[in-house]
Each structure stands twice: as structure tokens, then as C-alpha cells.
């Protein structure tokens, strides 16, 4: 019999019971909660007179609606405030641990889970948020769910699941200088398309993935969902294990070693068979820039905006035309000639310490270009912010003319006050370039932190490889 | 959950691929702490000419006459015909709530994003996957017959067209059962509470580090 994939190992370990038709009741180890997708679930519990099954398996944090300036003043937007206060009230009522808005540990839910050691290898992790795939970077099975399922997990600590198909995406070889994890995942999505991973759990593998830092692996898994896969994962190695040593929610001492011995088994067996395998050559990946309104609409920075006239699939060509119109772009324009209005360095894709270091390194003593109206850095958590300040990164950003904000989702989806105005063009380190995502009529180009920083200084996209 | 057995309604064609959940319900409306009231804001950016915010009287906003769901008889449609990868992006179940609140009971597309597909069943919206060429053909038929109606029979897993011809489709047996009966998943799962407890007891032995509940 063939060996098992990492996905199958974790899935099998969590089966509570299996129905004849293959529907599995899957045990959930960790449940992250934020203010946007939880109020109706808490309300459902209340209406049915139910209690959370295992409150200690939950951790809550407000992140989407929180302001990134003057936070001690509270939230001006009444509707946002109501949502954050509803989370506070629900957590108090049901006894759920919460990092409230002014807690130093507050931050984007997918940044704080690992940072606290709440995320652990080999666990099943869910959150009412599609970017829960991020946590797969630690050899966990992590995926986003809707609010009804949030309530289901709260009430039962389980989910009804069908086994997914498995896909291995292997990136072999060595990445060039200036090419980051973000470029790798954008290149992958460009290759497989936004629905390429639908129905699959994806394992990212190969020497280029192994050589990525933990933060880099998180960026890759974060965007698995942009390739259609609910879950993205990376096998456990020593880097993963070392990451968790001493984290507040992680086991300590002897229990840590016992856990680590198990974690070391969390990799696909050499003879495991995947339903699909996709291979990329790391050396061929250049820094990427998205040009359209779907993350698959992405090209190397050295390329030009694609021409729908060259697309044979009519549905695709139509999508390209709509995207060009929305983005205010003309086919065949060199990417490096596209000028930008705003820069956003942040989000659960790229707001960890390594991302901020990479951006600061590109900026050096440079200044934000005069045509750029706003350049902002929004750290992923209070602890990331604190660390960056210890390293003096905030000074580099501030001296260059960036704004240095408090942690949260911010302009990744513009539920708080941070947003693009209609027609504004933004170099963004976030994960979605959908129409209106960063503000109605706003135009988003997805890039790595280094590329965003370089664009801020130049005022237009530039190949970061030609800077140093 | 609202049960669905058979449903007859007008088919509205939404002719674009990769319709994401940000388009189905823009983020500003996610600030609501309720499950209802999202209907007026389904496809908000496409549906209205001026920007919208929660709390506005949406009936006073100017509707975009070019958007299909603003045109008669599609403003009365209950079945949405879409292109590939419908519902991609965010996990927001609000997208499903917005569609059902608008009046939709069925969405037909060549493919759906996984989370949206899953969420649909939880709220009694039936997502039907049909081959690309069959969807193409439906788009052609809707284009020449405004007000084109079909009947969806979930029990028999078939779509009946106005001319009486039939398109078969398939839905996972368990999900079909739950939707036909309008069953509450949580209630069903809690019938297995003993299994969940037994699982936890076993795991506390094999993986004690997972039970350091704070
Ligand atoms: S940073 Fe963006 S993608 Fe990540 S959880 Fe927040 S809104 Fe979602």
C-alpha cells in the first residue's frame, strides 16, 4: 500500500466517526474567532440555549474593524464599534479568551495564532475566515469556514467534512535574489489559476519551499485560497519545531519534546501518491505584479499588461477586458510604467517582522515619491510592531515618509477608515485585488513587501532586483 | 434551515467568471451582527450608481439600469445562472445570506469555490454544478427567452426546462437529505456527543499537549 500524504495523516488522526457515504465528523483542535463572522454564531448558540463545547480551544481577537490610528480614543464608526463590542460581550458571556483591541497581543488573527503558539503542528485549525490556510505552514490542517460552521464548531468542537483530493505543488531549485515567498505564490496562482486548487488540499514542497523561512511559508499558505484550495500546508521540519519553543500557548519542557517527537512525523511519506502534482522551477520565478481584478491576473515585473486579443478562451478574454477597464489600464503597457497613488504594506500575507525588515531594507535612506499620496505600514500584531520598533524599522519608514500604524487588517479590505478612493491605484502586499476590495473603485496591484517599498520610492513599479 | 424540495423560478444570467464574495456582498455590510437584511445590498457595487453604506435607505439610491438584476423580469428571479468559480474569495456566509435574502434559492454554474459551496447548503441555497457546455446552452436559451423559467427537483436531481426536456444533476447524498428535510446540522452532530467525548479522552492520552486549555 502506498504511503500517506501529510493531509491524510492529519485528517485520519481527527476522525471522530465516519458515515457510510464517507462524510466524516472531524475533531477541531483550535478555533480562532474574529468580530466579523462570529456574532451570528454566538447568537445561534444563545437562541438554542447551547454552550461552547470546549471554550479553551477558542481564541478571539478583533482585527477587521479596528482603527490603526489613535486607538485609545476608541472606534469612531458606530457600526464598526458595535461589532467589536459585540465580540467583547460575547467573549465575556461565554468565557472565551480574547485579546481585546488595546491588548498588546492584539493583531490579525492569522498572525497572532502562530505567534502565541495557539497554532501547533498536526492540529486541525479553523476560523470564520478564508485565510485560515495560513496556519498550514506549520504542518497543520487549517481552513476557513462560514458562520454556520463557526457555530457548529463552537457547539460541538467538530465539523462535517468530506475528504479532499490532494495536490502537491513542488517548487524546485533556488530562488533568485530579490524573489520572495510572495512572488512564489503569485507565480503559482498565475500558473494554476484561481480555481486550480478547488476541491484539493495543497501541500507545498520542494527545495525552494523548504528553504523559505517560517514567515515565508505562511505567506505561501496564506494565498492557497487564492488558488482555490481551502487548505495549503508545508511539512514540519526543525525550523517549524524551533519556532514554537517558548511560545505562550505551546507545551513547555518535557511535554514539548514529546510533542516535537510526534511533529517530526508530520510529512508525506516518500511513496505517498497525490491526486495531482504541479512543478515549478524556482529559478524561473521573477518578482510578480498583478495587473487585473483576480489574483491569477499576474505577470513578472519585467512584462507588459496582457492583451485580451491574444486569449483564445472567450470567457477569459471577456474577464480580461472587464479587468482592464476597471483597472484603467491599456493592454501592452510595460508594468514598470504604471504609476501608483498609494502603498499598503500589511495584511495577514505580509505583515510579519520579516516582511517589515525586507521593506525597510529596500527603502534605506530613500524617500516616498512625490506622486504617492499615502504610504502606510500596518504591522500584523502588537508584538510585531514592538519588535520592529526595537530594531528601529519604524524610524526608517517614518523618515522615508511612510505612516507607521497600529495593527489590524486595515486597507487589506477597508472595513475600517483606511481605504482607497475611486480610481486610486495601490501597490499592496495583501492577497486580493478584487474590484472594490480596498475601497470602492480602488485599483489594487498585489506585490511583495520589497516590491511595494521599491514602488513607493520610485512612484511606479520597478524591478527590485535592479535596486541593490 | 429552510428546506428545499422542488423550486420553479425565473433564471437570471450573470455572465462573468470568478464572481467573488466581495462582489456579492461588499465588506461595509459585513459590519452587521444579524443574519438578515443583506438582500438590498447583494451585488451592491454593480447594482447601484452611487456608493452605499450600511444604514442608508437603499430604495432611494439610483439603480444601474445596465445591471441584469435591475431589469424586469430578472428583479423577480430566484435562480441565478453563473460562470465558473462562482463565490470565490472570502469565507463570508453573508454572501449566501445576501443571495437568499434577494430571493435566490438556486445557483447554477460550471464550478463553485469550496467554502461558498459549503456555506450555501447551510442556508438552504442549492448550488448546482453543470458541465460548461450545458451552462453555455442555458445562457443561450435565456438570452432569447426573457423570463425563461425552469423547475429544479432536488429529490429526483433534475432540472426541467420549459420545453419539458430534462437536465440531470448530482448532489452529495447527505447534503441533499439535509436540504430536503431542512435539518439542523448541530442537532444531528450532538446525537454523537458520546463519540466526541470518547475521541477527546483518547487524544488526551496520545497528545496531551493539545489540552492545556487556558
Ligand atoms: S488581513 Fe486581510 S485577508 Fe487577512 S484576515 Fe484581515 S482582511 Fe482577511
**Residue from A36, A68, A430 to probe ligand 1 pocket by mutation (most atoms less than 8 Å from CB):** A430
Q: Do A144 and B22 touch (CB under 8 A)?
A: no
pLDDT value of residue A468: 59
- Rounded to whole angstroms, the Cα distance separating A438 from A422 reads 10
- pLDDT of A416 reads 86
Closest-lying ligand 1 atom to the alpha carbon of residue A351:
1
Identify which of A128, A130, A348 to mutate to test ligand 1's pocket (most ligand atoms within 8 A of the CB): A348
With the most atoms of ligand 1 within 8 angstroms of its CB, the residue from A110, A127, A444 to mutate is A110
Q: pLDDT tens for residues B59-95?
A: 999 999 999 999 999 999 999 999 999 999 999 999 9
Burial of residue B67, with CB atoms counted within 10 A of its CB: 0-12 exposed, 13-18 middle, 19 or more buried: middle
User: Distance between CA B68 and CA B15 in Å, rounded?
Assistant: 9
A263 touching B (Cβ < 8 Å):
no
Q: Quick check: B192 and A17 CB within 8 A?
A: yes
In chain B, residues with a C-beta closer than 8 Å to the C-beta of A19 are 174
Residue, of A429 and B123, whose pLDDT is higher: A429
Quick check: A259 and B33 CB within 8 A? Answer: no
Is B2 near chain A, with CB under 8 Å? no
Which A positions 216-235 lie with beta carbon below 8 A of chain B?
Answer: 225, 228-230
Q: Tell me, what's the pLDDT at B213?
A: 83
The total of other beta-carbon atoms located within 10 Å of residue A342's CB is 25
Q: Residue A249's closest CA among A40, A16, A56, A15?
A: A56
| Cβ under 8 Å to A: B residues 46-105 | 51, 54-55, 83-85, 88-94, 96
pTM, rounded to two decimals: 0.96
What is the B197 CA–ligand 1 centroid distance (Å)?
34
Cβ–Cβ gap A432/B22 under 8 Å: yes
Measured between CA atoms, the residue of chain A closest to residue B116 is A146
Under the banding of pLDDT at 50, 70 and 90, the label for residue B1 is confident
**How do the pLDDT tens digits run along chain A, 468 residues long?**
789 999 999 999 999 999 988 999 999 999 999 999 999 999 999 999 999 999 999 999 999 999 999 988 999 999 999 999 999 999 999 999 999 999 999 999 999 999 999 999 999 999 999 999 999 999 999 999 999 999 999 999 999 999 999 999 999 999 999 999 999 999 999 999 999 999 999 999 999 999 999 999 999 999 999 999 999 999 999 999 999 999 999 999 999 999 999 999 999 999 999 999 999 999 999 999 999 999 999 999 999 999 999 999 998 999 999 999 999 999 999 999 999 999 999 999 999 999 999 999 999 999 999 999 999 999 999 999 999 999 999 999 999 999 999 999 999 999 888 999 999 999 999 999 999 999 999 999 999 999 999 999 999 999 999 985
- Rounded distance between C-alpha atoms, residue A430 and residue A419, angstroms: 13
Residue A376 and residue A401: Cα distance in Å, rounded? 9
Contact B192 A16 (CB under 8 A): yes
How far is the C-alpha of A112 from the C-alpha of A115, rounded, in Å? Answer: 5
Which pLDDT belongs to residue B194?
Answer: 98
The span from the CA of B153 to the CA of A249, in Å, is 50
Closest CA to A268 of A174, A136, A185, A168: A168
Say whether residue A375 is in contact with chain B using an 8 A CB cutoff. no
Note whether A48 and A151 are within 8 A (CB): no
Per-residue model confidence as pLDDT tens digits over B129-141: 999 999 999 999 9
How many residues comprise chain B? 214
Query: Could you tell me the CA-to-CA distances from B32 to A178, A225, A404, B102 in Å, in that order?
Result: 42, 25, 29, 17
Q: Which residue, by CA, sits nearest to atom 6 of ligand 1?
A: A409
Question: Is the CB of residue B144 less than 8 Å away from at least one CB of chain A?
Answer: no
Q: What's the ipTM? A: 0.94
A329 CA to centre of ligand 1 in angstroms: 26
Classify B8 as helix, strand or coil: strand
Chain A residues close to B91, C-beta within 8 Å = 37, 128-130, 132, 144-146
The radius of gyration computed from the CA coordinates of chain A, to the nearest angstrom, equals: 21
Neighbours of A177 (CB within 10 A): 8
Count of CB contacts below 8 A, A vs B? 194
A79 touching B, CB under 8 A?
yes
- Chain B residue nearest residue A22, CA to CA: B174
SS (H, E, C) chain A: CCCCCHHHHHHHHCEEEECCCCCEEEECCEEEECCCCCHHHHHHHHHCCCCCCCHHHEEECCCCCCCCCCHHHCCCCHHHHHHHHHHHHHHHHHCCEECCCCCCCCECHHHHHHHCCCCCCCCEEEECCHHHHHHHHHCCEEEECCHHHHHHHHHHCEEEECCCEEEEEEEECCCCCCCCHHHHHHHHHHHHCCCCCCCEEEEEECHHHHCCCHHHHHHHHHHHHHHCCCEEECCCCHHHHHHHCCCCCCCCHHHHHHHHHHHCCCCCCCCCCCCEEEEEEHHHCCCEEECCCCCCCEEECCCECCCHHHCCCHHHHHHHHHHHHHHCCCCCCEHHHCECCEEEECCCCCCCHHHHHHHHHHHCCCCCCCCCCEEEECCCEHHHHHHHHHCCHHHHHHHHCCEECCCCCHHHCCCCCCCCCCCCEEEECCCCCCCCCCCCCCEEEECCHHHHHHHHHHCECCCHHHCC
Q: Please state, as a whole number, how many other Cβ atoms lie within 10 Å of the Cβ of residue A119.
A: 30
| pLDDT value, residue A400 | 98
Distance from the Cα of B164 to chain A's closest Cα (Å) equals 29
Pocket of ligand 1 (CB under 6 A): A 63-64, 108-110, 129, 131, 347-348, 409, 412-413, 430-431
Question: What is the rounded distance in angstroms from the CA atom of residue A47 to the CA atom of residue A50?
Answer: 8
Contact A156 B196 (CB under 8 A): yes
* Residues in B 23-52 with any Cβ partner in A closer than 8 A: 23, 26-28, 30-35, 45, 51
CA-CA distance, A140 to A232, in Å (whole number)?
9
Atom 2 of ligand 1, residue of closest alpha carbon: A412
Residue B161 CA to residue A387 CA, distance in Å, equals: 63
Of all atoms in ligand 1, which is nearest to the CA of residue A63? 6
Hey, is the C-beta of A294 within 8 angstroms of any chain B C-beta? Answer: yes
Q: Which atom of ligand 1 is nearest to the CA of A380?
A: 1
CA of A439 from ligand 1 middle (Å) equals: 14
Report the distance separating Cα B55 and Cα A281, nearest Å: 51
- Give chain B positions within 8 Å (CB) of A29: 210
- Cβ contact, residue pair B196, A130, below 8 Å: no
Three-state SS string over B121-158 comes to HHCCCEEEECCHHHHHHHHHHHHHCCCCEEEEECCCCE
Amino acid at each position: 500500500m502506498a504511503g500517506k500524504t501529510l493531509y491524510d495523516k492529519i485528517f485520519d488522526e481527527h476522525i471522530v466517526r465516519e458515515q457510510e457515504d464517507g462524510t466524516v465528523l472531524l475533531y477541531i483542535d483550535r478555533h480562532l474567532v474574529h468580530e466579523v463572522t462570529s456574532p451570528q454564531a454566538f447568537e445561534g448558540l444563545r437562541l438554542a440555549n447551547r454552550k461552547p463545547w470546549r471554550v479553551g480551544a477558542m481564541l478571539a481577537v478583533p482585527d477587521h474593524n479596528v482603527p490603526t490610528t489613535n486607538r485609545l480614543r476608541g472606534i469612531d464608526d458606530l457600526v464598526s464599534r458595535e461589532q467589536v463590542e459585540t465580540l467583547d460581550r460575547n467573549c465575556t458571556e461565554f468565557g472565551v479568551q480574547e485579546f481585546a483591541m488595546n491588548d498588546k497581543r492584539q493583531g490579525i488573527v492569522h498572525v497572532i495564532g502562530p505567534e502565541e503558539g495557539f497554532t501547533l503542528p498536526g492540529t486541525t485549525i479553523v476560523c470564520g475566515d478564508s485565510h485560515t490556510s495560513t496556519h498550514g505552514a506549520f504542518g497543520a490542517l487549517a481552513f476557513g469556514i462560514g458562520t454556520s460552521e463557526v457555530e457548529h464548531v463552537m457547539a460541538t468542537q467538530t465539523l462535517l467534512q468530506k475528504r479532499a483530493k490532494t495536490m502537491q505543488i513542488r517548487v524546485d531549485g533556488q530562488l533568485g535574489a530579490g524573489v520572495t515567498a510572495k512572488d512564489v505564490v503569485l507565480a503559482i496562482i498565475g500558473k494554476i489559476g484561481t480555481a486550480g486548487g478547488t476541491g484539493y488540499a495543497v501541500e507545498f514542497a520542494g527545495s525552494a519551499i523548504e528553504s523559505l523561512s517560517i514567515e515565508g511559508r505562511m505567506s505561501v499558505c496564506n494565498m492557497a485560497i487564492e488558488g482555490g484550495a481551502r487548505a495549503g500546508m508545508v511539512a514540519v521540519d526543525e525550523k517549524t519545531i524551533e519556532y514554537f519553543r517558548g511560545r505562550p500557548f505551546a507545551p513547555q519542557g518535557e511535554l514539548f519534546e514529546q510533542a516535537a517527537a510526534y511533529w517530526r512525523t508530520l510529512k508525506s511519506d516518500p511513496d505517498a501518491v497525490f491526486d495531482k502534482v504541479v512543478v515549478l522551477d524556482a529559478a524561473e520565478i521573477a518578482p510578480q505584479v498583478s495587473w487585473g481584478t483576480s489574483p491569477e491576473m499576474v505577470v513578472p515585473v519585467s512584462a507588459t499588461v496582457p492583451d485580451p486579443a491574444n486569449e483564445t478562451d472567450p470567457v477569459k478574454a471577456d474577464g480580461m477586458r472587464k479587468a482592464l477597464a476597471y483597472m484603467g489600464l491599456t493592454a501592452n503597457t510595460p508594468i514598470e510604467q504604471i504609476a501608483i497613488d498609494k502603498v499598503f504594506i500589511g495584511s495577514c500575507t505580509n505583515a510579519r517582522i520579516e516582511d517589515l525588515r525586507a521593506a525597510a531594507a529596500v527603502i534605506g535612506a530613500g524617500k516616498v515619491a512625490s506622486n504617492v499620496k499615502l504610504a502606510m505600514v500596518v504591522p500584523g500584531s502588537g508584538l510585531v510592531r514592538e519588535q520592529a520598533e526595537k530594531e528601529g524599522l519604524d524610524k526608517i519608514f517614518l523618515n522615508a515618509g511612510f505612516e507607521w500604524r497600529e495593527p489590524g487588517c486595515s486597507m487589506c479590505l477597508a472595513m475600517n477608515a483606511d481605504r482607497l478612493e475611486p480610481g486610486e491605484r495601490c501597490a499592496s502586499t495583501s492577497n486580493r485585488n478584487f474590484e472594490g476590495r480596498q475601497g470602492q473603485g480602488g485599483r489594487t496591484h498585489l506585490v511583495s513587501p520589497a516590491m511595494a517599498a521599491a514602488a513607493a520610492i520610485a512612484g511606479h513599479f520597478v524591478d527590485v532586483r535592479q535596486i541593490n | 434551515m429552510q428546506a428545499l424540495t422542488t423550486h420553479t423560478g425565473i433564471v437570471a444570467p450573470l455572465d462573468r467568471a470568478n464572481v467573488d464574495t466581495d462582489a456579492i456582498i461588499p465588506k461595509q455590510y459585513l459590519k452587521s451582527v444579524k443574519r438578515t437584511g443583506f438582500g438590498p445590498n447583494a451585488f451592491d457595487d454593480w447594482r447601484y450608481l452611487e456608493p452605499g453604506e450600511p444604514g442608508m435607505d437603499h430604495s432611494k439610491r439610483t439603480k444601474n439600469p445596465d445591471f441584469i438584476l435591475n431589469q424586469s423580469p430578472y428583479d423577480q428571479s430566484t435562480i441565478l445562472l453563473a460562470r465558473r468559480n462562482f463565490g470565490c474569495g472570502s469565507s463570508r456566509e453573508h454572501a449566501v445570506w445576501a443571495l437568499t435574502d434577494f430571493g435566490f434559492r438556486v445557483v447554477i454554474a460550471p464550478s463553485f469555490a469550496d467554502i461558498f459551496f459549503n456555506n450555501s447548503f447551510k442556508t438552504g441555497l442549492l448550488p448546482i454544478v453543470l458541465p460548461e457546455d450545458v451552462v453555455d446552452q442555458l445562457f443561450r436559451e435565456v438570452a432569447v427567452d426573457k423570463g425563461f423559467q425552469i423547475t429544479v427537483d432536488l429529490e429526483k436531481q433534475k432540472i426541467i426546462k420549459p420545453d419539458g426536456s430534462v437536465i440531470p444533476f448530482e448532489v452529495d447524498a447527505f447534503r441533499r437529505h439535509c436540504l430536503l428535510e431542512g435539518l439542523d446540522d448541530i442537532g444531528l452532530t450532538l446525537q454523537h456527543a458520546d463519540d466526541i467525548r470518547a475521541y477527546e479522552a483518547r487524544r488526551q492520552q496520545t497528545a496531551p499537549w493539545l489540552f492545556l486549555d487556558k
